[in-house]
Amino acid sequence: MSKLLIGLMMVLSTSAFSSEDKETSKLIDELLSTGKLHGLCGSLYQQNIFQKSTKMQGGDEFMQRFWTAEAARLGMTIKEFVESCDFISKKYNKFYSK
């Protein structure tokens, strides 16, 4: 795992930082939200891979309903949600490679 991510997670879990240190706070919030969204997108993409390989009966319809509901929960269309997943994946990989 990236040294940057490990270091920031250690800071987050082992010490309190000043609320005046807005740059650090913003970076930690960005790392956490990026990780959370990347995990969500990864789970949904894995569903897609599973369905393509198993061709489970009713799976395509379930995935369509699930993805539509998840996108709506986030205030997006499916297209916007997929585009945001592509963006967050690039952002996650940028953090991870540091």
How many structural domains is the chain composed of? 1
The predicted structure's pLDDT at residue 15: 52
pLDDT in tens, the chain (98 residues): 555 655 556 555 555 555 558 888 888 899 999 999 999 999 999 999 999 999 999 999 999 999 999 999 999 999 999 999 999 999 999 988 87
Query: How many whole angstroms separate alpha carbon 27 and alpha carbon 95?
Result: 11
Query: How many whole angstroms separate alpha carbon 62 and alpha carbon 65?
Result: 5
- Residue span of the structural domain in which 53 resides: 3-13+22-96
The predicted structure's pLDDT at residue 36: 92
Confidence (pTM): 0.70
The predicted structure's pLDDT at residue 9: 60
Q: Which residue shows structure tokens 């996108």?
A: 71
Angle at 12 between CA 46 and CA 95, to 5 degrees: 45
Write out the two tokens for 26: 């913003």
The predicted structure's pLDDT at residue 8: 56
